Every structure is written in C-alpha cells, then in structure tokens.
Structure 1
Amino acid sequence: MSPTTDGRPHKLPFVVLVLSAGTFLMGTTEFVIAGLLPEIADDLNVSVSHAGLLITAFAAGMIVGAPAMAIATLRLPRRSTLILALVVFALGHLVAALSSSFALVLVARVVTALATGTFWCVGALVATTAAGPAATSRALGMLLGGLTVANVVGVPLGAWLGQLSGWRGPFWVLAALSAGAAAVIGRYVPADERREAPSVRAEFAALRDVRVWLTLSSMTLLMGGVLATYTYISPLLTERAGLPNGAVPMVLTGYGLGALLGTTVGGRLGDRRPLATLITSAATTTLVLVLLTLLSPSPVAAVVLVMLMGMTGFAATPVLGALALRFSSSAPTLVSGLSGSAPNVGIAIGSWTAGIALTSPLGRAGPPLVGTVAAALTLVPLTALALMRATRSDTSAPQPGTASDQAIGCGTQDVDIG
C-alpha cells in the first residue's frame, strides 16, 4: 500500500494476501500436530509424551532457525528464498508422511521449522516493503492473520482429516498445498529490487540499537504470558469453570476469532499510534488475565475472558513486529528472524513455568497467574521505549518529513501516547 494524500487507507497489495496464505500453511503445521499425537504415537510405537517431542523440536527449530536462516539466505533474492522455503517445507512433510521411523519424523519437523522461520522473516520484509512505511503494521497484521486463521480453520480441519485418514493425511495435504503456494509465490511476488548488496556486518550492527531489544523482549513477555495461559486452557475450562469437554473447541474457536480481530485492529491502529497501541494492549491483557485468574470458576466469565485474551494479546503482535523492523533501519533481515524467535522463546518459557504452577497449590489458577505476571512485565520495556521517545533531543531525532522519520514511524503524531 502506498501512502495516501487524502488520509484514507488504501487496500494492501495483493502480494500481502498471497504471503498470508503461506503463513496459514505454516501455522497449520505448527499447531495441528497437537491433535494428532495419539495417532502418531500408536503408529510409530512411542509414548504420547515421547511423541510430544515433535512439538518441542518444531519450537526449537523456530527459535534457532529463524535468525540463523535469515543470515544464511541473506544474499539470495527474496523471491527465490520464499520459493525455496516452501519447497523444503513440502519435502519435509513428504518425508514425514512416508517415514515409519520416529527419529526421521523428528528430523523432518526440525527441517520444516527451519523453512517456516525462513519464510516468516523474508515474507515479513517483502510484505512490509510492498505495503510501504505507512502500512507496515497492517501488512504484518495480515501475515499474522494467516497464523490466526490456521488456528481457527486449519488446525481443526487437519485434526478432522487425521481422524479420517490417519495422521499422515494432513501431512500429504500440507505438502501439496505448499508446493502449489511456491508456484503462486513465483507468479505474484516481485523480483528483488534491493539496490545494494546486503551486509552481514550491517545486520549485526542493527542489534546495537537498544530499542530493538526492548521490542523483542516485549514480544517474548507478552506472547509468553498469553500462550502460558492458553497451553493449559482446557483443564481450566473443564475442571475450574465446569464446562463440558465438548464445549472446549467452541471456546478455542472464540479465542482464535478474538486473536484475528486483535491482529486486524492492532495493525490498523499501530500504524498511526504504535506505542499507545502497545501499552494499551499490554495493560488490557494484564487486566483480562487477572480477571481470568479470579473469575474463571464462572463459565460465562471464563468464555468471554478467553476470547478477550486472544483479542487484546494479539493486538500488539503486528505493531511489535513493525517497530522491530523500523528500529533495525536499513538492515532488517536478522531482526525479522529474531522477531520470529522471540515469541517462541516466550512460549517455551511461559508454558514450562505454567506447567510448574499447574502442579503447585495454585492448581488450575496457576497458568493464568503466570500469564498475568508476564503480561504486566511487558509494560517495563514498553515504558522504556515511551520514555526514550519522550526524552529524545531535537538534535538527535530525525526531522519531520525526512525519509528516516517516515521509516521509523516516530513523528510526533504517530507515537503520541498522551
């Protein structure tokens, strides 16, 4: 989307929608495995807890692989990198679908995670470049919307298909769809137009900006808080709120719809007032999690608060991603990769801590309490960002109207948090 002169937002470029379809496939493969673990364990002759390593391996692959692959593919044309990532993604699913060895399936999951991290960090750059500085958050919101729709639609369909055809069925379908997506990417993603050869040294130099680390830590804390709660939401709904097991999928669908609404609204607001949007999101998420901890014995309150948790928590994600890219200036590839790793670090630590809390005297109220603390701590780096913005001297700040000011999105009206 190009900046407008009349103040009205224009539609995002079609390429952003194409890339969002790719993130839908990535999100589906990351989360669908949870619904297939019993079938995989039986077929590959391992325990369910052992099969759960397939989830851990994918998360580890994303944490390490996203920044590593961002540097490894730095000098490749972005369109070629996206196509290569989808081809590797398809091959990883084919290997898993054909294998009778748990170890080989595990390796395939790691390779698939590497491809996912590569697609995300490069796709985010292509989408935001196509959308323009005035719509960076909206473009990232669209990409994150693909992940959210995967939770609402792709994961339930994949689990249903796995019940009908065995766990290998969804893997075959994902392999075919990703191969088709590679062809579409090749057709609609424009050729790389970077004027200067990318520099690995410049990519690492971008990490010297403390604002990048404040933004990444905000991602880790906020997503860690929300997903720590979400990981153990089923026992909270059934054992604490007293809902029947059959109602849980409907509640989780509401959570997914709330997250989709959050990324959409957050992306739109974040392009105009990023810091205000972020602080509001973190504060309201903290409040929602406090209320969920206290009021979850009420079924109605629990259902409403779970949906609100998705909406308020995910409203910040496109804005944080946009700020990370803007603060990285002209070397955003590594930061984009770290933006893919940071939430997964939060998810890993948050879910582990929530598991400990679940077995403590806190019981079912433990995970949302852990989430509350993490969400509240998000306000620390966000407040630091706001104070840095407020105390920047006129001589060090970009002059209004300059290219740097537009790229960072820190004009007075853009980030006024008053």
Structure 2
Amino acid sequence: MTTICADAVETRGWAASVTMAATVFTVVTAEMLPVGLLTPMSESLHVTDGAAGLALTATGVTSAVAAPVLPLMLGRLDRRAVLGGLMVLLAASAFAAAITSDFSVLMVTRVLMGISIGGVWLLTVSLARRVVPPTAAGPATSLIFSGIGIASVLGIPAGAYVGELAGWRWAFAGVGVLALVLAVALSINLPSLPPERAVRLRDVRQVLKRSQVRVGLVLVALIVTGHFAAYTYIRPLLEPRIAPVLIGAFLLAYGVAGVLGNFLTGALRPHRALTVIAAGIALATLVMPTVGATVAGSLVLLVIWGFAYGGTTVSTQAWAHAAAPSAPESSSAVLVGVYNGSIALGAFTGGQVADRFGVATVTWLPAVLATAALVVLLAHRRQRG
C-alpha cells in the first residue's frame, strides 16, 4: 500500500511538472511572439521595427518589476490559485492584443502580459522542486524549463507561420486559448502549494548582500541584454538573406538547438555552463555579418546561437540556488526581475541601434556583452582561487 501511494504521489508530481512546463511554454511564447511577427505587426500598426520591438520591452520591464514585488504582495496565498489567476490574466491580455488596431492599446496589453509572465516565471522557478519527490527534483526542473526551449522550437515558429497564413492577430488569439486551457489544467494537476513562508523585503535585501548572487545577476544582465538586443530583431535581420517563407524553419532550427542546449549545458556546473553559453553567443554573433551573409551560414550560426542560449535559464537558476540555497523564492524573485529587465533593456537598445544604424549592426551588441560576461566569469574563477 505504501508503494502504491508513493507511486501515485510521484505520478501526480510528474503530471504537475508537465503542466508547469506547458505553462512556461505558453508565457515564453506570449512574451516572444513579436520576435517572429515583428514585420507584419509594424506594418499593420504603422510603426517602425524599432517601435514594434517596444512590445517586447513593455513585457520585460513589467515582468522585471512584478517578479520581486509579487512575492511581497501575495503573502500566504496558495501559489496554485495564483498561477491559475495569472494565466487567466494572460489570456485576457492576449485576446485584447488580437483585436486592437491601436499601438498604444497594444502596449497596455503587453504590460498586462508582463504582470502575468513575471509572476509565472517566479513561481515556476521557486516551486519546481516542490511538485516531485526530492530525488526527482533535478530532472523535473529541467523538464519544466524545457518549456522555454520548446517555445522556441514550436511557439515562436508557429506564431511566425500563423502570421504568414492568417495574420499576426490569430497568433495572439491562439495564445489566449492555450492560456485558458492551462488555467484549468493547473487547478487539476497541481497540489495545494502554500508558501513555505511569506517573503519579506528584508529577505530580498539579505539575498543581495551575497557576492555570489550579485555576480550571477551581473552575468544574467550581460548575457540576456546582449542576446535580446539582436534576437528581438532576428526577422528583419534575416529577411534580406532568406525568403520570408523560410523564417519559421530557421527559427525552428534555432529552437531545436535551444532544447538540446537546455539539457546538455544544464547538466554542467553553473560556472562552466555559463562559460559555454557566453562563448557560444559571442562567437555566433561576432561572425554573423560575414559568415551569416549566406543562407547556409545564417542557419549554422543560428544553431550555434540557439544551442548556447538554450541553457541560460536553467544555468542561471542553478547559480542562484547555489548562491542562496536557504532563500529560494527570494533569490528567484531577484533573478527573474533582473532577467526580464534585461530582456526589456536588450529589446529597447537593439531597437535604438536598428533604427539609427540599421538592423545589420545589432549583432555587435551580444558579441560585446557576451565577451564581457566571459571576462566576469574568468575574474570570478580567479577570485575563488
């Protein structure tokens, strides 16, 4: 009987993990939809590519603020109910984005999405280890974060395909439907998840006093800002080199490589994993203007880039957990805040560079910032002896 009960608990734990992975997939797809739809969105709303990229900046800024603030506001609320409510909010904002013809209204919907995305990121990061037995915490965490890579494999390319076939608005509507389905699935598959203890502002301040945490946040800022400064504009970057109908296929190749990177670099120690990530991004983006001038070259570099960036989330989370193992929700709140703030900063900076100097110049930003991350990693290793 004990064995049967244990098996039932483990089975429900894996069902919860799959549901959380699907939730991560959905919020990442929602956040990144403008990447694959940037050109049709800018044309439909009569704005420049750089201005359309602000749709990504809006969600990033809001997520960055929401992630550290939400734990202070949620108190003792059951996290399962909170996750369900956040997915309903995501659905409502996605449907609103699908029907608006006003760019300012679209930006409001992206702000609402940002609240949902920041909250879901935070809670899935900090709750992953609680839905399965301790012995399965590592594989379950990798499974949950595979939703990020799968969003690149399926979500973003699917959005690009839907945009080509039916218009970008239907891509947002599809995300809204998926978010509603997952709100129901979360209520069924997740156990009750009261917080282990309420998060206080003092807890966040204590986490920030740890030098290991601060180094990790600097690395997140450099790598993620650089990545999104260029990746946000990947569609207009590729369009002069390949036919628009191939954009989805190229993003698919990028995403497949990202899933592999999630599992392979996620198995490495955080310092080594982040070294591989920073080096891969720096290499791929540095030679993009020359090697990427051909169709084959662009594809190869996208695969390298995708593989490198794919392990970023799980590796930075592993770094944060190792730096503050006694304060998982506080460290996750800070990490997710900086991560999403870096997405916003990258999208904004890349848009400014693209509008002023041309889209082709944006790849220099990740090349420089990823190289700076390598310098930080080297200095940190020497400091530790």
Superposed CA RMSD: 3.3
Structure 1 residue 144, shift from structure 2 partner: 3.3
Correspondence for 2:218: 217
Correspondence for 2:257: 258
Matches of 2:196 and 2:274, distance apart in 1 = 33
- The equivalent position to 2:376 in structure 1, one of 381, 386, 402, is 381
Structure 1 residue 381, shift from structure 2 partner: 3.2
Correspondence for 2:202: 201
> Which has the higher mean CA deviation after the structures are superposed, 69-78 or 157-166?
157-166
> Which has the higher mean CA deviation after the structures are superposed, 127-136 or 83-92?
127-136
Correspondence for 2:314: 318
Structure 1 residue 121, shift from structure 2 partner: 0.3
> What pairs with 1:273-292 in structure 2 (closer than 5 Å)?
273-292=269-288
| Structure 2 counterpart SS, 1:297 | coil
Correspondence for 2:113: 112
Deviations 1:356-409 (A, max 9, x none): 655788x66633332211111112332344345x44xxxxxxxxxxxxxxxxxx
Structure 1 residue 291, shift from structure 2 partner: 3.6
Matches of 1:133 and 1:384, distance apart in 2 = 34
Of structures 1 and 2, the one with the larger relative CO (CA 8 A, separation 6+) is 2
List gaps (5 residues or longer) in structure 1: 1-9, 392-418
Correspondence for 2:304: 308
Correspondence for 2:5: none
Matches of 2:107 and 2:351, distance apart in 1 = 23
Correspondence for 1:89: 90
The answer to whether 1:183 aligns with 2:184 is yes
> What pairs with 1:10-409 in structure 2 (closer than 5 Å)?
13-36=14-37, 47=47, 53-97=54-98, 102-130=103-131, 138-162=139-163, 167-192=168-193, 194=195, 196-234=197-235, 236-239=237-240, 242-267=241-266, 269-270=267-268, 273-355=269-351, 366-388=361-383, 390-391=384-385
Contact 2:36/2:235 (8 A) holds in 1: no
Structure 1 residue 24, shift from structure 2 partner: 1.2
TM-score w.r.t. the length of structure 1 is: 0.77
Deviations 1:266-291 (A, max 9, x none): 22x13xx2222222332333233334
Deviations 1:130-185 (A, max 9, x none): 45777666544433321222232223333444555555434443333222211211
Distance verdict in 2 for CA 1:205–1:167, change over 3 Å:
same
TM-score w.r.t. the length of structure 2 is: 0.82
Contact 1:262/1:310 (8 A) holds in 2: yes
> Which has the higher mean CA deviation after the structures are superposed, 21-30 or 72-81?
72-81
Question: May I ask how many residue pairs the two structures share in their alignment?
Answer: 374
Matches of 2:130 and 2:143, distance apart in 1 = 14
| Structure 2 counterpart SS, 1:120 | helix
> Which has the higher mean CA deviation after the structures are superposed, 273-282 or 363-372?
363-372
> Which has the higher mean CA deviation after the structures are superposed, 63-72 or 283-292?
283-292
Distance verdict in 2 for CA 1:382–1:103, change over 3 Å:
same
Correspondence for 2:7: none
Structure 1 residue 225, shift from structure 2 partner: 2.5
| Structure 1 counterpart SS, 2:261 | helix
Distance verdict in 2 for CA 1:137–1:36, change over 3 Å:
same
Distance verdict in 2 for CA 1:373–1:98, change over 3 Å:
closer
Deviations 1:211-237 (A, max 9, x none): 112111111211222333323444554
Q: Give, as a single letter, the amino acid of the residue that structure 2 aligns with 1:326.
A: A
Q: When you count helix as a share of all residues, which structure comes out higher?
A: 2
Give the % identical residues: 27
Matches of 1:365 and 1:169, distance apart in 2 = 29
Distance verdict in 2 for CA 1:122–1:249, change over 3 Å:
same
Distance verdict in 2 for CA 1:71–1:138, change over 3 Å:
farther
Distance verdict in 2 for CA 1:226–1:107, change over 3 Å:
closer
Distance verdict in 2 for CA 1:133–1:320, change over 3 Å:
farther
> Which has the higher mean CA deviation after the structures are superposed, 326-335 or 200-209?
326-335
Distance verdict in 2 for CA 1:87–1:147, change over 3 Å:
same
Matches of 2:185 and 2:87, distance apart in 1 = 11
Distance verdict in 2 for CA 1:349–1:308, change over 3 Å:
same
Deviations 1:226-260 (A, max 9, x none): 33332344455454xx4444433322221111111
Q: Give, as a single letter, the amino acid of the residue that structure 1 aligns with 2:126.
A: L
Q: Give, as a single letter, the amino acid of the residue that structure 2 aligns with 1:218.
A: L
